[in-house]
Amino acid sequence: MLCSNLNDNIMNYESFYKYSLEQPEDFWREQASRIDWYEKPQVVLGKDENGYPLWFPDGTLNMCYLTIDKHIADGHGNDIALIYDSPVTQTVKKYTFNEVKTEVAKLAGGLQALGFGKGDTAIIYMPMIPQTAFAMLACARIGVIHSVVFGGFAPHELAVRIDDCKPKVIITASSGIEIDRLIAYKPLVDEAIEVAEYKPEKVIVLNRKLGARVPFKKYDVDYGALVYGSEEADCVPVESHHPLYILYTSGTTGKPKGIVRDTGGYATALLFSMKYIYDSAPGETFWAASDMGWAVGHSYILYGPLLNRNSTVIFEGKPVRTPDASTFWRVIADHKVRVMFTAPTAIRAIKKEDPDGLLIKNYDLTCLKYQFLAGERCDVPTLEWYRSHIPVPVIDHWWQTESGWPMLANQMGLEPLPIKPGSATKPVCGYDIRIFNEAGQELPAGEEGLVVIKLPLPPGNMLGLWENEARFKAGYFSKFEGYYLAGDGGYKDTDGYCYITGRVDDVINVAGHRLSTADMEEAVSTHHHVAECAVVGINDELKGQVPFGFVVLKAGDDSPPFKIEHEIVQLVREQIGAVASLRSIVVVQRLPKTRSGKILRKLLRAIVDGETFALPSTIDDEAIIGEIQHALAKYRREQVS
Ligand code: COA
Ligand code: AMP
């Protein structure tokens, strides 16, 4: 299938991609014309005061208007906007665009009545329920910048984010449900506020009445009463570069990075992606089985599908155990999902429980057109398993919180290219992706190096890091002048297909969740017996990677190692959250280091994974390898027994 662009010229991938790189302003002007602006931008590509690209700088728009009100104005008010499917509460509820608008506009009115408005920040700490979407849209409606924090993070991590983005208000719910476990959110929010230096003015609490403890504090406002008692607020036009949200992601230090997303570039890019990457038409059901706390949730549970007037599924459950490995297939069949997006780890979890795909046979999946996968590299056995049981294209595509939408993909709405297992296919329009060596020289096909993208990045990419210009520049743009450093390694083949081989920094991907080993090391070192530590990401059959910790105890310490190991696991769970999944800690006498004192983490990783490794010439003492292997073998024996 080939596609026509707005000028009705027949386009294939090569020509459309070339056009996007050679004439980016014309290309994106056309795409921006698909958006209803209050003030149509005259300038397509400008610059901010630091010289960083700003897309459509003189345009004004409102994201809530584009995702909800516009569709009502166009006569689609009674179409389904949200499908809430919650196997953990055994609820299915559908909301029309009209219903979403009423709830969102009233909540926005409530926020205004409490004194919040354009430019203020709000943290949203909620489970996968429709009210999370309402809260995000209500903020967008009145120009409040939201920051959704994933519910799996513990109070300490929430406090770090509170101190960074200083929310005037936190919106939360009484509880979430993890399979069969009730997670009381409100006490976690209260604890985070207590720990944080900055204190929000109000906490809006949705009481789900599931039985969780909801301690009352004087800053609390009841969500239901606020919505019920408020007037509907109108959409507030904002500048194209007005931050729609801040989304924290893991970096190479213990402090998360607050990725700032603009409004106009993002809306343009998402709408482009819905058509050209996902091949999704208005009115169809689109399902991204992720969490609103991640970039996928922002872009492809909420904003992308709603901009495109899709019905989007908000799924409160897991691929397995809610109640079994057929849940995904049931949701697809029940809601006629046409395009589905999840992480490979979710498919691996299903495959583990239902290796022969017997449960798949119970459902009519003929509605499904594509299965998109991202969040981590899609391993070939997972892709093959899926293809052998469900005959639809399985599309691995690569992106990051920073980009907000895919950078490498098989663009199904443009020209589907042959799938090469292991590759996320080719660069998406607007992304000039290269592979560099450390010296900044472009590498030929087949050679692995650092993945970089020539500036300017297309619309939708991050505007900056929240109030941290120095880290923004240093982290992404200082290594190679004029290029964005993605933080991933990879290579291209002779057909121009790209293969992402994994992070080249201390970021790891655990079950599709991006986590920082530096953050975990900070938590581990707060244990009073720990003198030194290293946390590395090791291979895991189900989760892709899991963290593995090595600790050196303080001299003279004779506490039993198993006790300390257990305490550290609990400590990381309390400080970062269960999502960190750090379950293995080994006590060692020393850590392998270079002569200049740098811990050889790559070597530790290779030892645990049982890979062959060349001993670095810089290592200070070779005998340490034997010691580590010995400690590891002892640890494994103890685990088995
Ligand atoms: N709130 C509270 N706790 C949470 C949580 C949340 N929102 N999300 C996860 N956790 C907890 C889990 O309950 C688990 O706790 P436990 O150690 O007590 O069992 C822990 O954090 C680790 O969670 P997870 O890594 O998700 O492991 P799991 O065994 O519960 O589930 C998968 C494994 C593969 C089924 C699950 O991770 C999954 O569905 N992954 C897909 C991820 C995804 O969509 N990523 C987005 C990118 S596209
Ligand atoms: P996040 O910012 O949470 O979306 O995580 C982004 C990181 O996940 C990337 O830098 C990659 O390391 C990894 N990632 C995401 N999608 C893919 C993919 N399709 N293939 C390989 N790695 C991926």
For the domain that residue 19 is a member of, what is the CATH number?
Answer: 3.40.50.12780
Nearest ligand 2 atom to the CA of 486 is 10
8 A C-beta contact, residue 395 and residue 363: no
Task: State the pLDDT confidence band at 5, using cuts at 50, 70 and 90.
Answer: low
pLDDT at position 440: 97
Q: How far is the CA of 465 from the centre of ligand 1 (A)?
A: 27
Is the pLDDT at 374 greater than 50, yes or no?
yes
Going by C-alpha positions, the residue among 458, 328, 583 that lies closest to residue 29 is 458
- The percent of residues in the chain predicted with pLDDT above 90, rounded, is 88
Closest C-alpha to ligand 1, atom 38: 346
Into how many domains does the chain fold? 2
Q: How far is the CA of 466 from the centre of ligand 1 (A)?
A: 27
pLDDT at position 232: 98
Same domain, 485 and 558: no
Same domain, 423 and 519: no
8 A C-beta contact, residue 41 and residue 10: no
- Detail the DSSP E strand segments found in 511-625: 513-516, 530-540, 544-553, 584-588
Going by C-alpha positions, the residue among 309, 281, 266 that lies closest to residue 69 is 309
pLDDT at position 8: 45
- Detail the DSSP E strand segments found in 306-463: 311-315, 337-342, 370-373, 394-396, 408-409, 426-427, 433-436, 449-454
Q: Which domain holds residue 119?
A: 13-317+397-490
Same domain, 312 and 278: yes
Same domain, 516 and 588: yes
The helix/strand/coil state of 187 is helix
Helix axes 561-575, 517-524, angle to 10 degrees: 120
Half-sphere exposure of 595 (CA within 13 A, CB side): 3
Same domain, 409 and 518: no
Same domain, 222 and 83: yes
Q: Domain for residue 119, yes or no?
A: yes
CA distances from 269 to 123, 282, 406 (A): 24, 16, 10
8 A C-beta contact, residue 517 and residue 547: yes
At 277, the amino acid letter reads I
Residues with CB under 6 A from ligand 2: 249, 294-295, 374-377, 396-401, 424, 487-488, 500, 503, 509, 514
Helical spans, DSSP H, in 304-343: 304-307, 327-335
pLDDT at position 506: 87
Tell me the pLDDT tens digit for each residue of 448-507. 999 999 999 999 999 999 999 999 999 999 999 999 999 999 999 999 999 999 999 989
Any atom of ligand 1 within 6 Å of the Cβ of 238:
no
The helix/strand/coil state of 371 is strand
Which of 427, 459, 490 is the C-terminal boundary of a domain? 490
CATH number of the domain residue 636 falls in: 3.30.300.30
pLDDT at position 10: 58
8 A C-beta contact, residue 484 and residue 457: yes
Is the pLDDT at 639 greater than 80, yes or no?
no
pLDDT at position 12: 94
- 3-state helix/strand/coil string of 83-133: EEEECCCCEEEEEEHHHHHHHHHHHHHHHHHCCCCCCCEEEEECCCCHHHH
- Mean of the per-residue pLDDT values of the chain: 95
CA angle 430, 433, 435 (to 5 degrees): 175
Any atom of ligand 1 within 6 Å of the Cβ of 183:
yes
Which of 456, 490, 524 is the C-terminal boundary of a domain? 490
Best mutation site among 189, 581, 582 for ligand 1 pocket (most ligand atoms within 8 Å of CB):
581
Same domain, 473 and 565: no
8 A C-beta contact, residue 286 and residue 339: yes
pLDDT at position 242: 98
Q: Domain for residue 219, yes or no?
A: yes
Q: What is the pTM of this model?
A: 0.96
The helix/strand/coil state of 553 is strand
Closest C-alpha to ligand 1, atom 44: 290
